[in-house]
Amino acid sequence: MFTVLLSGFSAQATAVTVSGLYSAKVPVEGSSPGQLAQGYADGLSQVLVRVSGTRDVLAMEGVEALLSDAESLLLSYQVARGESGQSVLSMSFGAVGVNRALAAIDAPVWGANRPLTLAWIAAEDRGSRTLVTRPGAGSGQEDAGAWRAAFDEAARKRGLPVALPPSDFSSDRELLSDIWGQFIGRVKSASGNLDHDVLALVRVSRAGGQWRAGWVFDGMAMNAGEESVTADTPEALAEATINRWAELYASRYAVAASEVGDSPQVDIVLRGVTSLEDYAGANKVLEGLTPVVSVGAHRVRDEQLTLRVAFSGELDQLREYIALDPRFVPMEADVPAEPPVTARTAEDQVASSGPNPQEALESEVSQPAGPDQQTSAEASEETALFTYQPVPVDEEDAREAFESLYQVLYYRWQPSSVIGSDGGE
């Protein structure tokens, strides 16, 4: 199903962080070394396209060598047997390692913070037009279900955050006509309370044996006139459309190979910094962490300090070190109410109300792999491949986030003097 963005955030630039860009699932014949090596290469191929933002990366000089040594970039893997009896290899690659590998073959690198597209899709078939929306009770959207699944799967493959409007709009015939005519005014008004960075007005039609999708964008200077693609099936049309969108975004926000650098850098936004003592304390903690190469103040705004941290190893290792100090409180702890929303595989039909999807993913791929480990269909369906979390930033922060290779980390500074009932650390 399509991503449903949290309603508690404003409809400004959302700098959506896409988790799972460096993870993949592929079918394998078995768990022999040769079969696994082929699976690693297939999974890394998906990741390279997703992270570079272009399918052309697979034709670049040097990519074959990367794929033949895919295991060297692997962090963890697991082989499970699916419901049909087919073995499935789930794997996670290191973000820093993949980014450096792309830079080594002079390929672009597109970061984890990506613009969110709100897609208003009007599909016409045999003279009947339907607005493709999120599922909703009594929405009468049976005909739209195939399009919803097709676009969702295509967006999942490319790691592109895409949202659909709620089913409340499914009966609005005037709005449907405006989408078909690609008149932005009324659609823009209807999108006022819906999270998005860019609006896409899409009209899908069939002529003879082919489907056609034409669209216009509004927002982030993407509105450059109508573009279109054609394909033989709804699934192929959705894939062609999303591929084009991903490449347009990547051409703007991906970082050139020369800018990747030897030491990866991540921005850490620290709330609650009210004095020089707070700044010195936070700086000292970070400088003392094993993975940290350097720390520098990037921006100070009110009680919010942005630190730019160069580190060695993988980003997850840095986060684990930071988590050891209770003065760094992850900002997720400040977000009440709803869990993160997820984009799932096409087979998943309902959002999970269980554990955090990202934790489920990490649990799955970090376990020691056994030969053809058996898992239930239910457990497989509960695993989310991507988690889209709106990042609480202002417009200026959002622009920088879009151009960052790694997700922005958010913490609240909790001085040690108030930690614990006895005032100690």
User: For strand 198-207 and strand 117-125, is the pairing parallel, antiparallel, or unpaired?
Assistant: parallel
Do 285 and 408 sit in the same domain of this protein? Answer: yes
Residue that terminates a domain, selected from 237, 256, 275: 256
* Measured distance CA(319)–CA(83) in Å, rounded: 35
DSSP symbol at 116: P
Instruction: Give the pLDDT score at 137.
Output: 57
Residue 359 within a domain: no
Do 94 and 211 sit in the same domain of this protein? Answer: no
Backbone angles phi, psi at 262, to 5 degrees: -80, -40
* Domain that includes residue 34, residue range: 23-109
Number of domains forming the structure of the chain: 3
Residue 352 within a domain: no
Instruction: Give the pLDDT score at 70.
Output: 97
CB 413 within 8 A of CB 328: yes
Do 89 and 203 sit in the same domain of this protein? Answer: no
Residue 103 within a domain: yes
Do 89 and 222 sit in the same domain of this protein? Answer: no
pLDDT one digit per residue (tens) for the chain, 425 residues: 233 332 333 344 556 888 889 999 999 998 899 999 999 999 999 999 999 999 999 999 999 999 999 999 999 999 998 777 889 999 999 999 999 999 999 999 998 888 899 999 999 988 889 999 988 754 455 668 889 999 999 999 999 999 999 999 988 999 999 999 999 999 999 999 898 889 999 999 998 889 999 999 998 877 778 999 999 999 999 999 999 999 999 998 898 888 887 778 899 989 999 889 999 999 999 999 999 999 999 888 878 899 999 999 998 899 999 999 999 999 853 333 332 333 333 233 222 223 333 333 333 333 333 433 433 333 333 334 455 655 555 666 666 667 778 888 889 998 865 444 444 44
Do 249 and 175 sit in the same domain of this protein? Answer: yes
Do 144 and 166 sit in the same domain of this protein? Answer: yes
Do 167 and 226 sit in the same domain of this protein? Answer: yes
**What angle in degrees, to the nearest 10, is found between the helix axes of 95-104 and 33-52?**
80
Do 196 and 251 sit in the same domain of this protein? Answer: yes
Instruction: Give the pLDDT score at 177.
Output: 95
Residue 66 within a domain: yes
Do 175 and 56 sit in the same domain of this protein? Answer: no
Residue 300 within a domain: yes
The CATH number assigned to the domain holding 300 equals: 3.30.70
Residue 3 within a domain: no
Instruction: Give the pLDDT score at 141.
Output: 57
Residue that terminates a domain, selected from 88, 109, 130: 109
- Report the SS3 class of residue 419: coil
Residue that terminates a domain, selected from 109, 125, 141: 109
Q: Give the residues across from 131 on adjacent strands.
A: 122
* Measured distance CA(80)–CA(227) in Å, rounded: 41
Residue 344 within a domain: no
Do 233 and 296 sit in the same domain of this protein? Answer: no
Residue 14 within a domain: no
Do 147 and 180 sit in the same domain of this protein? Answer: yes
Do 92 and 149 sit in the same domain of this protein? Answer: no
- Report the SS3 class of residue 320: helix
